[in-house]
Amino acid sequence: MTVLTIRDLTLRIAGRLLLDQANLVVDPGRKVGLVGRNGAGKSTMLKAITGELGLDGGEIRLAQRARMGHVAQEVPGGPESLLETVLAADTERAALLAEADSHPDGHRMAEIHERLIAISADSAPSRAATVLAGLGFDAAAQMRPSTEFSGGWRMRVALACVLFLEPDLLLLDEPTNHLDLEATMWLEGWLQRFGGAAIIVSHDRGLLERCVDAIAHLDKGKLTLYPGAFDNFVRVRTERQAQQVAANEKMAAERAHIQSFVDRFRAKASKARQAQSRIKALEKMPAIESVVEDSVTRFAFPEPATLAPPVLTVSSGAIGYDGRAILTGLDLRLDQDDRIALLGANGNGKSTLAKLFAGRLELMRGSQFRSPKLKIGYFAQHQTDELDMDGTPLSHMQDALPQATVTQCRSQLARFGLDVDRATTRISSCSGGEKARLLLALCTREAPQLLILDEPTNHLDIDARDALVKALADYNGAVILISHDPHLVELVADRLWLVGGGKVTSFDGDLDDYRALLGGGGRKAARAPETAVVGGAKAAGNDRRGKAENRQALAPLKERLKQIEAQIAKLTDEATTLDKALADPRLYANNKTDLVNRATSRRAAINKILPPLETEWLELTEKLDAA
């Protein structure tokens, strides 16, 4: 028996076809990650499953008596406490308890109590409290009314309501967008233990790798199901595309060979019959299947000037607001090769510390040193609210770089995928991802030596997140990262700082250790030392120096790799041009012997030059991958 069956589903929004006879079957207990480009129709499909949207064709069938849970669009905001709000989400339990209070007859009372036992009603408050705690609400917060919390925190309450129900089919649309790293890790663990089926729309690669057992890829209106987690989906899809490209190339070569014969001998009587037979063969050959590759997303940070270490230090510092200190005893040091992720639940002071580094918050006490030439790029998600909705990415960049030419401004925007058309699109018409790209372009416009990223991936799709990781790998400046995306933290950060209890301490361990610390089990939890970060800086300093020396050693290899790639691209283009010329019958019909000889000689030379370049490219790539 299946929990959900989607057959020949067709959906249109404003006349645009999003799903074209799509099919999907979800079995009990199966967790499916729904992925695809922004705008492909993933959220629309979830709305169709919940009944919020009508179908243009096909059918969606939920198993009889199966309970479906999804996060409500209207977040809770009443006077009830958070715990009461979550408990009220189980409408059956609430109705049974209300009926029991009305003193029905003995027979009905027995039925009510029997059903309450069956649905574990007695343990409901404990389960609700556990879910709320996992999403960041302590015991005191659980007793406060929803109206006292901001929209982002109320979204967590809405998520808590649906998780508490533990439905047969769970639908989640970007569930980590309003969570911090700690809550994201807790949600991953909850999903791994969850016994029901789920469809999860997410750009969080770590969640898709750890919490699903199949990937449904929505592309060009069609759904394709890939067994396994996200990495397997990437591998299989890449292999299929490569096979299709190879088949297309073989078919195209065969067509070209036949067409060449037809073109050369169609007019000759002696060859007319053979030419006609080949024309028929061409007509019978299957059409070449189109393989339209998605445009590759690339980000590139400007190269910063090198500064002598340290670039920034804080001694005996304290920071806070309105005379109230949030973080004290700050003894911190940043060098240009530091890659640091800040850990700690929301509200512990991570963003406050980021504002200190960015120069947007002064010390209440203590002292700090900043390199006189230090440039800082600061990305904060709330900055999207500060954009001029009537402006464009280009107008924002021109305001930020008044001395730059239009070409220079466009070039900086292009580093983050904002091409000619998107650079002149009004901000009000830009997607969340395009606004995030603009903020990245703005905060790096002056080639900063320190980049502070506070939740940079909230509106970026998987490809854009991967592009950000690659750009940061090539960036030769310091990075301070605050992110709910464990995948990003693991790939970018060399060191972890724990922000909590009014202190900033170095965390001696990796994210798996941190998960164990939060969960209180599994691997031995690594403890954050009581001393301030600078207190144990010698080992970290040696580690930083080693990494800096490693980057310096690899720099010539990276430069040589770029040179080789440029040479290979140039020679390949030249070879393609020569092949086309040598395949043209007109070259031989006009007694152009010199041209033929020169072209043939040059083509032979390219055949000798390319193999050693390709071999060197392969060796360099392997060295850099192993480094």
Looking at residue 295, its pLDDT comes to 56
Residue type, 85: T
Q: Tell me the Ramachandran region of residue 329: left when phi exceeds 0, alpha when psi lies from -120 to 50, beta otherwise.
A: left
Handedness of CA 37, 39, 44, 45 (dihedral sign): negative
- Residues in Cβ contact with 419 at an 8 Å cutoff, skipping those fewer than 6 apart: none
Looking at residue 75, its pLDDT comes to 67
Handedness of CA 180, 181, 186, 192 (dihedral sign): positive
Task: Say how far apart CA 443 and CA 376 lie, in whole Å.
Answer: 8
DSSP string, 79-95: SSBHHHHHHHT-HHHHH
| Cβ-based neighbour number of residue 111 at 10 Å | 14
Q: What strand order describes the sheet that includes 365-370?
A: 324-334, 312-321, 365-370
- 482 backbone dihedrals φ, ψ, rounded to 5°: -120, 120
Q: Which position has the token pair 């408050």?
A: 125
Task: Say how far apart CA 168 and CA 43 lie, in whole Å.
Answer: 20
Looking at residue 531, its pLDDT comes to 39
DSSP letter assigned to residue 552 = H
Looking at residue 148, its pLDDT comes to 85
Kind of pairing, strands 214-219 and 222-227? antiparallel
Contact by Cβ (8 Å): 197, 224: no
Task: Say how far apart CA 63 and CA 617 lie, in whole Å.
Answer: 55
Looking at residue 331, its pLDDT comes to 94
* Alpha helical stretches, state H, 285-431: 350-358, 393-400, 406-414, 420-423
Cis peptide before 302 (omega within 30 of 0): no
CA angle 225, 226, 228 (to 5 degrees): 135
Task: Tell me the two tokens of residue 391.
Answer: 């402006």
DSSP string, 129-191: HHHHHHTT--HHHHTSBGGGS-HHHHHHHHHHHHHHH--SEEEEESTTTT--HHHHHHHHHHH
Mean pLDDT, 10 residues at a time, over the chain (627 residues)? 91 85 92 86 90 90 90 74 88 82 76 80 88 90 87 86 91 88 90 93 88 91 89 81 67 67 57 56 53 62 90 94 92 92 89 93 93 93 83 92 91 88 86 87 92 89 85 90 90 90 90 79 37 41 53 72 81 84 75 78 84 79 71
Q: What strand order describes the sheet that includes 339-343?
A: 376-380, 450-454, 478-482, 339-343, 495-500, 503-506
Q: What is the CA radius of gyration of the chain?
A: 30
pTM: 0.67
Task: Say how far apart CA 118 and CA 107 lie, in whole Å.
Answer: 17
Tell me if residue 339 falls in helix, strand or coil: strand
Task: Say how far apart CA 11 and CA 41 lie, in whole Å.
Answer: 9
Contact by Cβ (8 Å): 221, 20: yes
Q: Encode 408-417: b = buried (16+ Cβ within 10 Å), e = exposed.
A: ebbebbbbbb
The helix, strand and coil proportions of the chain, stated in percent and rounded to the nearest 5, come to 50, 20, 30
